[in-house]
Amino acid sequence: MELWYTEKQTERFGITAKIKRTLHTEKTEFQQLDMIETEEFGNMLVLDGMVMTTEKDEFVYHEMVAHVPLFTHPNPKHVLVVGGGDGGVIREVLKHPSVEKATLVEIDGKVVEYSKKYLPTIAGALDDERVDVQIADGFMHIAKSENEYDVIMVDSTEPVGPAVKLFEKGFYEGISKALKEDGVFVAQTDNPWFQQDLIRNVYSDIKEIFPITRVYTANIPTYPSGLWTFTIGSKTKDPLEVSEDRFHDIETKYYTKDLHKAAFALPKFVADLLK
Amino acid sequence: MELWYTEKQTERFGITAKIKRTLHTEKTEFQQLDMIETEEFGNMLVLDGMVMTTEKDEFVYHEMVAHVPLFTHPNPKHVLVVGGGDGGVIREVLKHPSVEKATLVEIDGKVVEYSKKYLPTIAGALDDERVDVQIADGFMHIAKSENEYDVIMVDSTEPVGPAVKLFEKGFYEGISKALKEDGVFVAQTDNPWFQQDLIRNVYSDIKEIFPITRVYTANIPTYPSGLWTFTIGSKTKDPLEVSEDRFHDIETKYYTKDLHKAAFALPKFVADLLK
């Protein structure tokens, strides 16, 4: 018997992956959680029918969410990750020696639990002593935080289910308040082939709140279209003006100092979305 | 009834696209040719079971094959496209006013015929008076050419069927001979997620022949992994040292002057393949 996982990334297009077996399937309090073992991409976490991360290509997303804002900030000490219960962003955050505390606020404890069990190379860093894992609503956490974080990263699902609020302007206003004066924020903002309205709206909202707003991209094979965007909002620091001596060597598989800048050179049709 | 086209891009992973209908299907002298109308990507040309081009995302591949070498060369007059029977690369080549003659050598006349019929926005430029379409073996054409072309572009299928010879070192040696002294050559060289050996071997072969050899990437949603590589070989001109005044405005949807350089900033795991 051959088993294939098929995800309709739009109503009319999708990906399909041969699987060895289903490791876990559960309707949690917040979403449908499936963990499957695929042949091409290793273990794969699927939430509400959408690939969140896989062992083979996870490094792209996690490195690009983390290192671009962390090198943009001159001296990040306290970092907040909203969502990201698989732990991959936290693993990358901890590669920065300036970071004293990394807080993860994930709404669904089951994501943390099953990531630790089936994605240990991704979730292992959650047990580090610099990490504070809170199973709580990220929206509420932001609402009650003030002048507290150097860098905030929003590692959410698509804007369906529990993540809908994380794509609203009020949330970005809360992030601005939760950041310190020289704070930097980044959010994953979906793909420019099938979600053009989303990117346009989110960029417009963030731009009204943050003096410096920029979009960058990375290639993630298991995400729709293979091209993912990230939107960075900053009060004073420009990701394109990081001084050479700010960069230090870190172990990566995707991110490089050159790519830090090159990732902001957008395909023309993406740049046109932001006009 | 719902019809879905599914392509196994590897034995274990693929894409699937909802289709309205099959427009044409034929076993030509050289390969299986299918033209289908998809809902997400418009009309789609499939050769030997692999997506070659679609109306929605074709601009990425065609612009990035053409404009990077054409702007690298200071004054391209005579251009050769090997393969590329859909006409998309030729359409982009003709946007450069210096080009006096663009020769297309496509082995399969049926590709030209059905691209003209079902992909008119891509193939329309094949009727331009500067274009010389030859239905012939590109390998043989290269073998008999000497000191003739300013830029040669290899727009082949994957290295199966008639294209196998177009990935061999002898072919690249022929290209070097067919180019003028300041000539520039580019080939599509597949994706770095599933075809690492191919990229490594092709890069190594080209590097032995051309003093300047560089790899760049672009995002193509309907190609395996969404990340495509192109390898450029040049006798004297470096694609990273194009002077600002060489660039002129052309109408594009993906290529920009900034992306010309940024596309050479490789993800670390891709750069590591080339070491």
Note the pLDDT tens digit of each residue in B242-266.
Answer: 999 999 999 999 999 999 999 999 9
Mean pLDDT of chain B: 96
Give the burial string for A108-120 (b: 16+ CB within 10 Å, else e). bbbbbbbbbebbe
Q: Are residues B17 and A12, on separate chains, in Cβ contact within 8 Å?
A: yes
pLDDT band at B35 (very low <50, low <70, confident <90, very high): very high
Residue of A nearest to B59 (CA): A269
pLDDT at A162: 73
Secondary structure string (H, E, C) spanning B130-181: CEEEEECCHHHHHHCCCCCEEEEEEECCCCCHHHHHHHCHHHHHHHHHHEEE
Q: Are residues A217 and B219, on separate chains, in Cβ contact within 8 Å?
A: yes
pLDDT band at A163 (very low <50, low <70, confident <90, very high): confident
pLDDT digits (tens, 9 = 90+) for A40-55: 999 999 999 999 999 9
Q: Does B5 have pLDDT greater than 80?
A: yes
Candidate from B12, B40, B227 with C-beta closest to A10: B40
Chain A residues lying within 8 Å of B271, measured CB to CB:
256
- Please give the CATH number for the structural domain made up of A58-273: 3.40.50.150
Q: Does A273 have pLDDT greater than 90?
A: yes
Q: Which two tokens stand for residue A53?
A: 């991360």
pLDDT at B158: 81
Choosing from B57, B155, B190, B205, the catalytic residue is B155
Each domain of chain B, given as residue ranges in start order, spans 3-52, 58-238+247-273
CA gap B259, B243 in Å, rounded? 15
Residue of B nearest to A194 (CA): B40
Residues β-bridged to residue A153: A81, A186
Handedness of CA A156, A17, B274, B252 (dihedral sign): negative
Q: Are residues B253 and A267, on separate chains, in Cβ contact within 8 Å?
A: yes
pLDDT at B264: 98
Q: Are residues A14 and B13, on separate chains, in Cβ contact within 8 Å?
A: no
CA gap B198, B164 in Å, rounded? 12
Interface of B with A in 10-69 (CB under 8 A): 10-18, 38-41, 57, 60
Interface test mutation site (partner A, options B19, B40, B217, max chain A beta carbons within 10 A): B40
Any B CB within 8 A of A269 CB? yes
- H/E stretch holding B195: none
pLDDT band at B200 (very low <50, low <70, confident <90, very high): very high
pLDDT digits (tens, 9 = 90+) for A210-266: 999 999 999 999 999 999 999 999 999 999 999 999 999 999 999 999 999 999 999
CA angle B266, B270, B275 (to 5 degrees): 105
pLDDT at A157: 83
Annotated binding-site positions of B: 31, 62, 86, 106, 137-138, 155-158, 162
CB half-sphere exposure, A13, CA atoms < 13 A? 17
Cβ distance B195 to B227 under 8 Å? no
Any A CB within 8 A of B216 CB? no
Task: State the average pLDDT over residues B179-204.
Answer: 96
Candidate from B6, B60, B193 with C-beta closest to A221: B193
Q: Which of A162, A156, A79, A158 is nearest to A125 (CA)?
A: A79
Cβ distance B42 to B3 under 8 Å? no
Identify the residue whose tokens are 């991409």: A41
Any A CB within 8 A of B252 CB? yes
DSSP state of B226: G
Q: Does A167 have pLDDT greater than 90?
A: no
CA gap A128, A90 in Å, rounded? 9
- Our CA-based measurement puts residue A12 at a distance from the nearest CA of chain B, in whole angstroms, of 5
Any B CB within 8 A of A3 CB? no
Residue type, B211: P
Cβ distance B41 to B55 under 8 Å? yes
pLDDT digits (tens, 9 = 90+) for A182-215: 999 999 999 999 999 999 999 999 999 999 999 9
Q: Are residues B13 and A40, on separate chains, in Cβ contact within 8 Å?
A: yes
ipTM for the predicted complex comes to: 0.96
pLDDT at A164: 83
Cα A223 → chain centroid: 12
Interface test mutation site (partner B, options A9, A19, A59, A193, max chain B beta carbons within 10 A): A193
Other CB atoms within 10 A of residue B109 CB = 16
Q: Does B122 have pLDDT greater than 80?
A: yes
In CATH terms, is domain B58-238+247-273 a member of 3.40.50.150? yes
Any B CB within 8 A of A226 CB? yes
pLDDT digits (tens, 9 = 90+) for B132-149: 999 999 999 999 999 999
Q: Are residues B41 and A13, on separate chains, in Cβ contact within 8 Å?
A: yes
pLDDT at A173: 97
- H/E stretch holding A43: strand A42-47
Interface of B with A in 186-215 (CB under 8 A): 193
CA gap B60, B55 in Å, rounded? 11
pLDDT digits (tens, 9 = 90+) for B154-175: 998 888 777 788 888 999 999 9
Q: Flag the least confident range among A94-103, A151-160, B177-186.
A: A151-160
- Our CA-based measurement puts residue A31 at a distance from the nearest CA of chain B, in whole angstroms, of 25
pLDDT at B166: 86
What backbone phi and psi angles, to 5 degrees, belong to B167?
Answer: -115, 15
pLDDT at A262: 98
Q: Does A158 have pLDDT greater than 90?
A: no
Strand ranges across the sheet with B212-219: B131-135, B101-106, B78-83, B149-155, B179-188, B227-234, B212-219
Q: Which CATH superfamily is domain A3-52 in?
A: Spermidine synthase, tetramerisation domain (2.30.140.10)
CA gap A29, A32 in Å, rounded? 9
Percent of chain A predicted with pLDDT > 90: 95
